[in-house]
Amino acid sequence: MSSERPRTTVATLRRKKDRSEKIVMLSAYDALFAAIIESVGVDIILVGDSVNTVLCGEESTHSATMDQMVYHTRIVRRGAPNTFVVFDMPFMSYQVTAEEAVQNAGRGIKETGANAVKIEGGSPRIATVQAIVDAGIAVMAHLGFTPQSVDQLGGYRVQGRGDGANKLVEDAKRLEDAGAFALVLELVPTDVAGQVTDALSIPTIGIGSGINCDGQVLVLHDLLGLNEEFQPRFLKRYASLADDVRAALTEFANEVRSGTFPDDAHSYE
């Protein structure tokens, strides 16, 4: 497989942290966008279980399945052969037993070509992270707001305020000790994310967690302005593609109805 730039590895991610070089990660779900992402040199593509809400219109990530995640990760890998790809383990694929988690993580790697898996949660997940790492699979951890626990957490809200800060730092250290190579921090106050980042040797990648993280992740469709309903404070939109799509479709419909498309330039002799 040829490559213009070296593929990111867990070692290069760690080096980026040591050199204070920010890590860029995007959640994406298909080959077409994955190829565009690779062409701009993003460090990591996470094939997030957010696919279930963002693309499939579900209320939560709960109904995401292993088959669905395998399908989307495989097509992302096809579009971005030289990018570090993370397979997001869906709800109940790793919570029951460590053995089942290892089997599902193994499937996530073997059937997709992903470089790592991601699992959500702190202290209850330590043994699971350890078991997956012991199987030779790189694990990205995820603390703060963990979407698979949305109902237990009482909704989409900031985590780690007050007494929660120490617990977050402790859980993060335990995940690092268990072998996680990076940690996603979702919806955590900026100063608490900074405390976690300072306490770890592995990189933190924030979403809604402020500037002190070692990297940042956003969902591609959110930052492109395609997912219009989702408007949390942390989300910066870098484009308004839903507006562009509407304008293009309106023009197409008008031209079809008025008989101006297709013209000679778009027809065969």
Which residues here bind ligand KIV, judged by CB under 6 A?
27, 46, 48-50, 88, 184, 186, 207, 217, 219
Of 6 and 57, CB closest to ligand KIV:
57
In three-state secondary structure terms, 22 is coil
Phi, psi of 214 (to 5 degrees): -75, -15
As measured in angstroms, the least distance from the Cβ of 207 to ligand KIV is: 5
Of 88 and 176, CB closest to ligand KIV:
88
Of 38, 120, 176, 186, which is the active-site residue? 186
As measured in angstroms, the least distance from the Cβ of 219 to ligand KIV is: 5
In three-state secondary structure terms, 165 is helix
Give the distance, in angstroms, between the CA of residue 8 and the centroid of all CA atoms in the same chain.
16
Ordered DSSP codes for 36-104: HHHHTT-SEEEE-TTHHHHTT--SSSTT--HHHHHHHHHHHHHH-TTSEEEEEPPTTSSSS-HHHHHHH
As measured in angstroms, the least distance from the Cβ of 257 to ligand KIV is: 39
- d(C-alpha 142, C-alpha 202), whole Å: 13
Of 130 and 209, CB closest to ligand KIV:
209
Of 158 and 261, CB closest to ligand KIV:
158
Of 43 and 49, CB closest to ligand KIV:
49
Whether 59 is catalytic is: no
As measured in angstroms, the least distance from the Cβ of 215 to ligand KIV is: 11
Nearest residue to ligand KIV by CB is 48
Q: Which amino acid is at 132?
A: I
As measured in angstroms, the least distance from the Cβ of 162 to ligand KIV is: 24
Of 46 and 116, CB closest to ligand KIV:
46
Taking a C-beta distance cutoff of 8 angstroms, is the pair 221, 238 a contact? Answer: no
Taking a C-beta distance cutoff of 8 angstroms, is the pair 102, 108 a contact? Answer: no
Ordered DSSP codes for 43-61: SEEEE-TTHHHHTT--SSS
As measured in angstroms, the least distance from the Cβ of 189 to ligand KIV is: 17
- d(C-alpha 209, C-alpha 130), whole Å: 26
Q: Which of 74, 71, 21 is nearest to 43 (CA)?
A: 21
Q: Which of 95, 146, 91, 140 is nearest to 114 (CA)?
A: 140
Q: Which residues are catalytic?
A: 186
